[in-house]
Amino acid sequence: MSLRAGSMLLACVLTPSAGAQDMTTDEPARHLLEGESDTDPDVTDDPELDRMSYPNFTGEWITRLGLNSDYKVEGPLEEITDEFIDIIATPRLEFTDRFKIDSEIRLETTSLPTENRRFEDEGIFVRKLWFQYDPTDDLSLLAGKITPRFAIASLVTPGMFGNNYNKEIELIERIGFEAQYTFDAGSAGMHTLSGSTFFDDTSVLSESLGNNRGQTSLSDGGASNTESFESFTLALSGQEITSLPGFRYQVGLIHEAAGRGDADDENGFVVAADWTRRFTEDTSLMAIAEVAPIWNFEGSADDVLYTSAGLVLRSGRWLGVVSGTYRLRDLSGGGEWNDYSLQTTVEYEMGYGFSVAVAHEFLRDQNFDGRRVGVRLNYSLAF
């Protein structure tokens, strides 16, 4: 089946039941540097919230003022300082407790810096826009511009550079359908089975205002750039396992059909888990691990293996993170890239929605080494 991405699509996603909290969500983190986010059940234990009037308009506004500076770089890498502002808005319109429209609109740089840059190359674009219908507490149906569920390390790992490299396997800006069903297995925990079908966004929503990144077209090629529902993901996640308190997992499969000029279809799988140990009410330690081998990455003839791990310590207003991703790319023409990103971040929440963070990263990109420091001033406001 083929249709232009500019057409309005309907899809299916299910949200966890009121008792479950899924590993990922289409909403950005409340805390700018935290990839982890919470799923808000439609029905709560608060009778006032249960009597919420409709339609109901809510959302979150996140602003990030940042600076990245590369140093001690090799080869073609350059020592560049980049100053920028990012804004993420997530308006939600709920018509009933079963039907809503969700979105994510961003202002950010839409191209990589080639020289020192100060608040340049900023563009506004729609990253997500979908309709969601929940026929039951255990099932949801979602359609539109979505991020199909697959890998989760880039979403749950906090830190300024916590999703460097592993974000490359996030399925952002896809047009499609997704369905999830959550079931209670008693002491074996709560589990969610999801499936999606999609293609790369080639509609006007793939462009941006300001610094225009250009509209994606079929001639660009790339995995899932087909304007037909030939690509899909399947995922199973679980948590609240009695014998493994604080443990969560997700496994998934991916198939992305080849676009024009591509070598072959992309295929892969992911195995991910995190475990949280709470010491006091406001102190906890989380360990994260994920492995994701991808064959014919992005439709090329190269195979890539992503391996991510991290430790996250939270104590009061403080957050400390050590995490990294190893990216091994087997090149079809011979040889390989042994790339990695290793970052440390310290963040302090100042109150009233403000936080400040500093970070350092050791990285290797296409076998060339470099280092980077970063500073962020963040502000978030729920409305």
Give the pLDDT confidence score for residue 191 in this predicted structure: 98
Is 13 within the bounds of a domain? no
Q: Tokens for 274?
A: 């995190």
In a domain, 36, yes or no: no
Residue-level pLDDT at 51? 60
Residue 3 forms part of a structural domain: no
Overall residue count recorded for the chain in this entry: 383
Res 52: pLDDT: 75
Query: Which of 258, 267, 262, 132 is closest to 199 using CA atoms?
Result: 258
Structure tokens at 50: 């249960």
Give the domain range for residue 206.
47-382
Give the pLDDT confidence of 260-279 residue by residue, as tens digits.
999 999 999 999 999 999 99
HSE-up (13 A, CA, CB side) for residue 141:
8
The domain total for the chain is: 1
Residue 324's SS3 state is strand
Q: Judging by DSSP bridges, how do beta strands 117-118 and 81-89 pair with one another? A: parallel
- Evaluate whether residue 31 is within a structural domain: no
Residue 1 lies in a domain: no
Alpha carbons 31 and 269: distance in angstroms, whole number = 29
**Could you report the per-residue pLDDT of 333-369, keeping only the tens digit for each?**
999 999 999 999 999 999 999 999 999 999 999 999 9
Q: Is residue 92 part of a domain?
A: yes
Q: Which residues of the chain have pLDDT under 50?
A: 1-21, 24-44
Is residue 28 in some structural domain?
no
Contacts of 348 (CB under 8 A, 6+ apart): 317, 318, 319, 355, 356, 357
Backbone angles phi, psi at 204, to 5 degrees: -60, -20
Q: What number of other Cβ atoms are within 10 A of residue 363's Cβ?
A: 22
| Residue 310 identity | G
pTM for this predicted structure: 0.86
Instruction: Look up the CATH number of the domain holding residue 217.
Output: 2.40.160.10
Beta strands in 90-173 (DSSP E): 92-94, 99-109, 117-118, 122-133, 139-146
Q: Is the residue at 2 inside a domain?
A: no
